[in-house]
């Protein structure tokens, strides 16, 4: 109970911080500074673990990796530029800047999709992922979490395997474009993390998705902290 109370207290602290007027009006890189400026990765980790255990592990990974302070400002600036490049090159992707990272979602209508019950990379997905690989080469100091998700149609064990195969297909493709495999972590969740209502065809289509979390690697974090010390 004491641990739960402490976690709730920390959550309220961050909610209060993020909802203040200054943060609401800040640009993305300034939000990178504001989140965790007082409490750093400790609060980020608590929130990351809570979010990650529910319906958005990608978001949890991003917030859980927060550095905060002036170093977070530096990272946020770099992430702003990378997010802009993804939006420019892949207009259909759902790109969201969160704290010090980027959350990218591809569903059936936004660039990376799979034929029914298949996990091979088709021509349309190949073109989109090739553009994404080019951006990752431009910004080498980031790590990428790749997640596979399905809707709730069919047996859970089948969907779990399918989401694994699809996530790994994306990682394998990107690595084959000259991106170091060490930059990637691959997870899969089958139907267990829906973002939309599986009772509707539109919701099911959106739940059949590949999701990316892009965060600073150790090199960028070190550089950010060095810049903050200047």
Residue 29 has pLDDT above 80, yes or no: no
Tell me, which fold does domain 2-229 have in CATH? 60s Ribosomal Protein L30; Chain: A; (3.30.1330)
Per-domain boundaries in the chain: 2-229
pLDDT tens, residue by residue, 83-103? 999 999 999 899 999 999 999
Residue 39 has pLDDT above 80, yes or no: no
Q: How many residues does the chain have?
A: 230
Structure tokens at 160: 């779990």
What's residue 221's pLDDT?
A: 96
What's residue 107's pLDDT?
A: 87
Residue 56 has pLDDT above 70, yes or no: yes
What's residue 14's pLDDT?
A: 44
Give the strands of the sheet with 184-188, arranged side by side.
Answer: 94-98, 101-106, 210-216, 142-148, 184-188
pLDDT tens, residue by residue, 103-134? 999 988 888 888 888 899 999 899 999 999 99
CA dihedral sign, ordered 24, 25, 31, 35: negative
Mention every residue, 6+ apart, whose C-beta is less than 8 A from residue 144. Answer: 136, 174, 183, 184, 185, 212, 213, 214, 215
- On whether the CB atoms of residues 58 and 103 are closer than 8 A, the answer is yes
Whole-model pTM?
Answer: 0.78
What's residue 178's pLDDT?
A: 96
pLDDT tens, residue by residue, 157-194? 999 999 999 999 999 999 999 999 999 999 999 999 99
For all residues of the chain together, what is the average pLDDT? 81
Mention every residue, 6+ apart, whose C-beta is less than 8 A from residue 212. Answer: 58, 102, 103, 104, 105, 106, 144, 145, 146, 147
What's residue 30's pLDDT?
A: 40
């Amino acid at each position: 109970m004491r641990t739960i109370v402490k976690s709730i207290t920390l959550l309220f602290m961050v909610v209060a911080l993020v909802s203040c007027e200054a943060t609401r009006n800040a640009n993305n890189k300034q939000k990178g500074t504001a989140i965790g400026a007082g409490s750093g990765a400790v609060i980020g980790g608590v929130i990351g673990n809570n979010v990650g255990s529910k319906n958005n592990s990608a978001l949890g990974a991003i917030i859980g990796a927060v550095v905060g302070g002036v170093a977070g400002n530096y990272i946020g600036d770099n992430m702003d530029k990378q997010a802009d490049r993804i939006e420019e090159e892949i207009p259909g992707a759902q790109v969201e800047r969160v704290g010090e990272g980027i959350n990218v979602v591809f569903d059936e209508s936004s660039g990376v999709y799979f034929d029914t019950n298949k996990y091979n990379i088709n021509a349309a997905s190949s073109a989109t992922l090739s553009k994404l690989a080019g951006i990752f080469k431009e910004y080498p100091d980031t790590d990428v979490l790749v997640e596979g998700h399905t809707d709730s149609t069919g047996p859970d064990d089948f969907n779990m395997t399918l989401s694994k195969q699809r996530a790994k297909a994306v990682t394998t493709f990107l690595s084959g474009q000259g991106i170091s495999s060490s930059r990637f972590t691959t997870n899969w969740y089958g139907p267990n993390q829906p973002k939309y209502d599986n009772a509707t065809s539109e919701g099911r289509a959106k739940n059949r998705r590949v999701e990316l979390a892009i965060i600073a690697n150790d090199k960028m974090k070190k550089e950010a902290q060095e810049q903050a010390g200047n």
